Amino acid sequence: MTTVRTTLIATTALGLVLSGGFTAAQAETLRLLTWGGYAPDKVIELFEQKYPDIDVEVTLSNNEEMISKLRATGGAGYDLAQPSHDRIFAVQKEYGIYKPLDLSKIDTAVMSEKLLDGVKANTTIDGAVYAVPHQWGTSGLMADKSKAPDIKSWADLCDPKYKGKTSMRLRRTILLGTAFAMGENPFEAYSDLAKYQALLDKVADKLIACKDNIKVYWQGGDDLANLMLSGEIVASETWDSTAFKLYNQNNNIVFVPPETGALAWIDTFAIPSGGEADDAAYKWINFVLQPEIVTMMSASTGAIAAVKNGGDLLPEEAKAAVAAAFTPADIDNLKFFANIPPGVEDMEGKTLEKIKAATGG
Amino acid sequence: MVQKDAQRLALFLLLMPFALWILLLIVLPHLGIGYLSIREKIGPRQYEFGPGNYIDFISEPIYWNTLLRTATMSVLVTVLTLFIGFPVAYYIAKVAGRRSRAGLFLLCLIPLWVSDLVRAFGWIVLLRETGVVSGFLQWTGLVSGPVEFLYNDAAVVIGLIYTVVLFMIVPIVSTLDGMDDALIEAGYNLGGSRWTVLRRIVIPYAMPGIVAGCIVVFMLTAGSYLTPILLGGKNSMWFTEQIYDQFITRYNWESGATFGVVLLAFTSFVVWLGLKLTGQNLANTVAKG
């Protein structure tokens, strides 16, 4: 018995020493929680060349999963996250998963003032700023010009002419878009939740009636790309970046800003409250805002960087796609997603469930 | 004495991984889910205990309709899987020769070597409007335009059967394997027809395997996520999708946990009901099979 016990203790001790030793020997790790395409291998390689003592680890995610992951760990497990600007305020108030940024460590001078101020306004709580902008883009419509030339509004997806040939993603974007198409402004209704619920009910009726027209609700960018390229659908709600990528494969597929204005989002940088590598995180933020990195990043994300001349720094083929999609008037007409007040997400979730469960149309 | 202690320790260490697995990965998460499900949110970072989440579930027809739909389709999948799986299992266990048996078994296993996701995409490639089946039908001239086979409940059922059929075949093969061929011969000698022999001798003997297979298949189907999401259409809501939505898109862990508990309770109830109706019990079926 004694021998067994001694061996056991010895082994455990050895294990502890070994694992402890390995952790200490490791270089600093920067754990990124970000979107697909937001940390291209090439950029990571260059970053690690410049800062050889930092290892970059990437976890790909989306807005909802980022928040859920950080919430599950109380803000630990990642050192830098990239939620959209409208998803920070309420979440921070409710779950406290981010820490305030030290703006003096960020090269804010290179950022587009309008976007920086917008994000600051959206994410300042008790005087502390929780996010700065990184990339922005829009949600709108995508159409195959040769088969569906007259798609102009969110409501055109429900045009019986294109029955069984359109698609959308059953998420909050289409709720907001449909509300705009009905002549309402959902962002203004946020302040009065009863009014917003009434609006959501109207939107739900409209989208349930529209169900018959929809071929399928797409789930992700690849899904949508397949549907569109194969010609199974001719028009869809989309992210502009997905549409820009498809434009390069088929020049008939263009991004169409809806006449009520494309909905604009800004993906930001925010540091989780349990982040353990703040300095590395600030280094990454400043690194990816350098002009030559911005171009590489935009090539990979399809989105425009929130720096002063972000549009000019787009790769050539993306510039063509943007030029084919936006006029200056469209840019002026952009509707930036407004901060989501607490409770709205739940109301919208319930509305989406209602639409999905309805057999209607 | 020392010898005995050492044996005990060895047994303890051997059981440890299993005990830890049960405790850390099964018991604790379930307790956590149960705890969350009776916690009501009354404001930001404010909670109190109560049955509110369960009342919400019952008072919202969308939720229990989805649950019933999921259960009905899972039962349908289970029954169809049994009809497909039983003849295959019977052939493997009783008809096929020793050597071909291993090969046949392997063929059943191969689909399991690739992940669920890949298999679902396989079906998408086959069934979509511009897919293989539609293309073939047009080529043969049976249909004039492209046909969409994907995004409906039939596609979901096919995909699910394909995913779970093995879990029906394996237990039935293993019970039938233990059956003495003489029993079947005796049945024929006594004047039984094929149908009588199957009904009075083979099926009762295979019952433990059938029940075990049905339970596993039903549970896997009701709890599956990827296949219904990827193959299902705009109207097909699966209950696991509801749970995901509650947890992830609505940040409503309380209600998601409630749904989890409800799903567990409901599927357990269906299994219990199935056992009761067929006059079986777990001890002489699953434990034996």
Q: What is the pLDDT of residue A310?
A: 85
User: How many domains does chain A contain in total?
Assistant: 2
In a domain, A323, yes or no: no
- The answer to whether residue A354 neighbours chain B at the CB level (below 8 Å) is yes
In a domain, B147, yes or no: no
> What does the block give as tokens for A296?
């590489």
Residue B148 pLDDT greater than 90, yes or no: no
**A340: containing domain:** 137-264+335-357
Q: What is the pLDDT of residue B287?
A: 61
Are B249 and A232 within 8 A, CB to CB? no
A208-237 pLDDT, tens per residue? Answer: 999 999 999 998 888 899 999 999 999 999
Check whether residue A235 and residue A349 sit in a common domain. yes
Q: What is the pLDDT of residue A24?
A: 42
In sequence order, the β-bridge partners of residue B39 are B49
> What does the block give as tokens for A251?
């020049």
Q: What is the pLDDT of residue B285?
A: 63
From A229's Cα to the closest Cα of chain B, the distance in A is 11
From B82's Cα to the closest Cα of chain A, the distance in A is 29
Which 8-state DSSP code applies to residue B282?
G
Check whether residue A249 and residue A151 sit in a common domain. yes
Chain B hits for A1, CB-CB cut-off 8 Å, are 2, 5-6, 9
In a domain, B242, yes or no: yes
Check whether residue A85 and residue A141 sit in a common domain. no
Q: Which helix (H) or strand (E) holds B46?
A: strand B46-49
ipTM: 0.79
In a domain, B195, yes or no: yes
Check whether residue A275 and residue A213 sit in a common domain. no
Cα–Cα distance between A298 and B124 in angstroms, integer? Answer: 31
**B212: containing domain:** 61-112+164-284
Question: Three-state SS for B218?
Answer: helix
Whether the Cβ atoms of residue A234 and residue A252 lie closer than 8 Å to each other: no
> What does the block give as tokens for A299?
């090539």
Are A216 and B45 within 8 A, CB to CB? no
Sign of CA dihedral A97, A101, A107, A111: positive
Check whether residue A39 and residue A116 sit in a common domain. yes
Give the CATH number of the domain where residue A343 resides. Answer: 3.40.190.10
Q: What's the rounded mean pLDDT across residues A97-111?
A: 93
B13-64 pLDDT, tens per residue? Answer: 999 999 999 999 999 999 999 999 998 877 767 788 888 889 989 998 889 8
pTM exceeds 0.90: no
Residue A18 pLDDT greater than 90, yes or no: no
* Nearest residue of B to residue A348, measured between CA atoms: B250
Check whether residue A349 and residue A208 sit in a common domain. yes
Average pLDDT over chain A, rounded to an integer? 88
Band (A263; pLDDT cuts 50, 70, 90):
very high
From B10's Cα to the closest Cα of chain A, the distance in A is 10
Q: What is the pLDDT of residue A1?
A: 40
In a domain, A5, yes or no: no
User: How many domains does chain B contain in total?
Assistant: 1
Candidates B234, B245, B250, B253: best to mutate against A (most CBs of A within 10 A) is B234
In a domain, A115, yes or no: yes
Residue B277 pLDDT greater than 50, yes or no: yes
Give the CATH number of the domain where residue B260 resides. Answer: 1.10.3720.10
In a domain, A87, yes or no: yes
Chain A hits for B252, CB-CB cut-off 8 Å, are 346, 349
Check whether residue A142 and residue A168 sit in a common domain. yes
Q: What is the pLDDT of residue A8?
A: 47
Are A211 and B233 within 8 A, CB to CB? no
Closest by CA to A115, choosing from A304, A293, A257, is A304
- The amino acid that residue B175 corresponds to is T
Residue A49 pLDDT greater than 90, yes or no: yes
The closest CB to that of A1, out of B5, B246, B250, belongs to B5
Residue B288 pLDDT greater than 60, yes or no: no
